[in-house]
Structure 1
Amino acid sequence: MSAISLRQLRKAYGAVEVIHGVDIEIESGEFLVLVGPSGCGKSTLLRMIAGLEEISGGELEIAGKVVNALPPSERDIAMVFQDYALYPHMSVHENMAFGLKMRGADQASTESRVANAADILKIQPFLDRRPAQLSGGQRQRVAMGRAIVREPSAFLFDEPLSNLDAALRVEMRLEIAKLHKRMKATTVYVTHDQVEAMTLADRIVVMNGGRIEQMGAPLELYHRPASLFVARFIGSPTMNTVEATATPSDQGGIVISALGRQFRLPNTQALSGAITFGIRPNDLKACQPEDAWFEGEISVAERLGSQTFAYVEMADGQMFSVEFDRNADVAVGERIHLSGNPSAVHLFDTETGRRMN
């Protein structure tokens, strides 16, 4: 039995429908990430699971029980918010214990749960402090601790790391991953950051306009995006895409015409007409002019220590990103010819955006 089931879940504000019949089965112990751009409906969907938004249609089931009409306090979930939502006049200990006290938990049980959560999150030294005396990362740990002491059937996270700086985001991402591994709790996590999604998720749900664009394992979405939207959203830097024309080749496969050049993809099903060609930065490489798929001028070179990214301006002004070895000898202003791995090419229907190969 799934821990959380969403069956044709819909949300409307008056005549405006923002969630359009979403179906998701979340397994017990699974870490599911809802990801997508601002306004795609991911936070609304999470708030519907939490009971903070009314459900306009469909059915929501938690632990085998339909909870559409139940208030948040009766859904056996705990939520961690983006802004921590801590009581500023209470100590860390009091913040973590408050929910248990409101539910009538006895003192011994409350103290035991708070101590256990503080140990898990390494916040024992801060139990007597107030939130104003803590860093952003420490406050987020307290918010997580307040959720842990509840011992719920599921944890819900609403962009919990977006208020932290880059270094703290990495640190807290690791903490959340370790916490999930230790507790094996069902988790639904909302973020707009696809790096968070790729590193934390067992499965990712990519949302677009209140609908599921694609759902699957992180590497499945990376290597076989079902649509142009997913291809451009998952991966950093984003996938290179260009409008192209496909023509069946007498030698097998197809000939791609794009940016004033032609090249053959030998192991591709016969396609004809306008398409969108896509290839990731790590699947491109510098080559000799006679072997080139594309050519352009390096406009920017980013040397990140572990790798180098070059941004190549094509004839039409479009930028392609290319990943090189960290010690690669690339220079701004250099003319470069590029080819790629034919098996790593992504072809999309230009009109619908759906994958074709």
Structure 2
Amino acid sequence: MTAIALRQIRKTYGSLEVIHDVDIDIASGEFLVLVGPSGCGKSTLLRMIAGLEEISGGALDIGGKVVNALPPSDRDIAMVFQDYALYPHMTVRENMAFGLKMRGTAVETIDRRVSHAADILKIQSFLDRRPAQLSGGQRQRVAMGRAIVREPSAFLFDEPLSNLDAALRVEMRLEIAKLHNRMKATTVYVTHDQVEAMTLADRIVVLNAGRIEQIGPPLDLYHRPASLFVARFIGSPTMNTMPVDVVSDGKETALRFKGKPLPNSDVGVHSIQAGAATLGIRPEDLTACPQDGAWFSGELAVAERLGSQTYGYVEIGEARMLTVEFPRGTPIKVGDKIHVRPTMDAIHLFDTTSGIRLT
């Protein structure tokens, strides 16, 4: 069942169009993440769902009803903001109860919902404190609790973890995942952090300049990006990309890099036209090999040892750097000569002009 449907949604500011004909169906209970670089329109899109931004064109359907003209209070959604948006003069209990009081909810119901939300989020011990007496993570829990007590049909999160330090981000990410698993509520979550997107989402929507580049489960986007933009955006470290030439003798399709044939590079897709293309390879899909079988060779410029794995940055000429993931404990050092080749079924080819996937 579709809980929220966006049909040809557009947003304009005067003559400037910032959201272009966006179509998304969000299923009941789904955790959908909108991800993309700063300025791509993801927060604007979320605010249109919430009713905080006017929709310039198209239709927004929530629960089977078009809500374009409805105020935020009548859309049966609850939003968690980046800056928490807590009232500093109220206690945690009062902050969580405020929205219900404004709706005229019975005191007994308010007390029950606040107690239930505090129990879920483990914030019972500071219900009588004020926001200034709380840490960033505790304030974010309170903001989430204020949304939970509403018992809405959908939750909207606008970069809720961006103000937290790295360790707290991981902790709160786990809390949000556990909360969703427990409540099974429809959730739309905005972030620029693709790690958050990959770990939280049932599906990811990748936005670029107000347009949808790709929608799908996280691993689908990772293993089969539909465009060069998605390939470079999803994954950390990012995918290696470089210009190649596709050559064909009518029977096999192979690759050249800087005019040099790449050994055993039959890509197995004979419908690809000969010409320039962009090759993509993820760091973990490159393996050290003898020089005579290597696709790429160069000198190790930097080694990042992260404990569980090591990333090497290899200079392969013309100011081009190749990122390679080495197994833990691999004895490499700066200045070493590195020779690598990819796993053939893990290479990606993209049209150089449009960025659209070819393979």
What TM-score range do you get, normalising by the shorter chain?
over 0.9
1:198-248 Cα shifts (integer Å, max 9, x gaps): 000000000001010000000000000000000000000000000110101
- Which stretch shifts more, 240-249 or 92-101? 240-249
Alpha-carbon shift at residue 260 of structure 1 (Å): 5.3
Amino acid in the other structure paired with 1:25: D
Number of the residue aligned with 1:261: 260
Distance change (3 Å), C-alpha of 1:277 and 1:52: same
Check conservation: 2:254, 2:267, Cα contact below 8 A.
no
Amino acid in the other structure paired with 1:238: T
Alpha-carbon shift at residue 253 of structure 1 (Å): 3.5
Number of residues paired by the alignment?
356
**Matched-pair identity in %:** 72
Separation of aligned partners in 2, 1:58 and 1:64:
15
Does 2:132 match 1:132? yes
Number of the residue aligned with 2:313: 311
Gaps of 5+ in 1: none
Amino acid in the other structure paired with 1:303: R
Number of the residue aligned with 1:102: 102
Amino acid in the other structure paired with 1:280: R
Number of the residue aligned with 1:202: 202
Aligned-partner SS, 1:113: helix
Check conservation: 1:34, 1:190, Cα contact below 8 A.
yes
Q: How does 1:289-304 map to 2 (within 5 A)?
A: 289-304=291-306
Check conservation: 1:259, 1:314, Cα contact below 8 A.
no
Alpha-carbon shift at residue 316 of structure 1 (Å): 1.2
Number of the residue aligned with 2:330: 328
Separation of aligned partners in 2, 1:30 and 1:72:
21
Aligned-partner SS, 1:3: strand
Separation of aligned partners in 2, 1:287 and 1:265:
15
Q: How does 1:1-357 map to 2 (within 5 A)?
A: 1-249=1-249, 252-259=251-258, 261-263=260-262, 264-270=264-270, 271=272, 272-357=274-359
Check conservation: 2:7, 2:24, Cα contact below 8 A.
yes
Check conservation: 2:232, 2:238, Cα contact below 8 A.
yes
Separation of aligned partners in 2, 1:261 and 1:2:
52
Amino acid in the other structure paired with 2:256: S
Aligned-partner SS, 1:26: strand
Kindly report the root-mean-square deviation, in angstroms, between the aligned alpha carbons of the 2 structures: 0.9
Aligned-partner SS, 2:2: coil
Separation of aligned partners in 1, 2:353 and 2:278:
9
Gaps of 5+ in 2: none
Alpha-carbon shift at residue 258 of structure 1 (Å): 1.3
Alpha-carbon shift at residue 314 of structure 1 (Å): 1.0
Check conservation: 2:255, 2:266, Cα contact below 8 A.
no
Separation of aligned partners in 1, 2:155 and 2:189:
8
Separation of aligned partners in 1, 2:87 and 2:206:
33
Separation of aligned partners in 2, 1:129 and 1:78:
23
Amino acid in the other structure paired with 2:332: V
Amino acid in the other structure paired with 2:290: Q
Amino acid in the other structure paired with 2:77: I
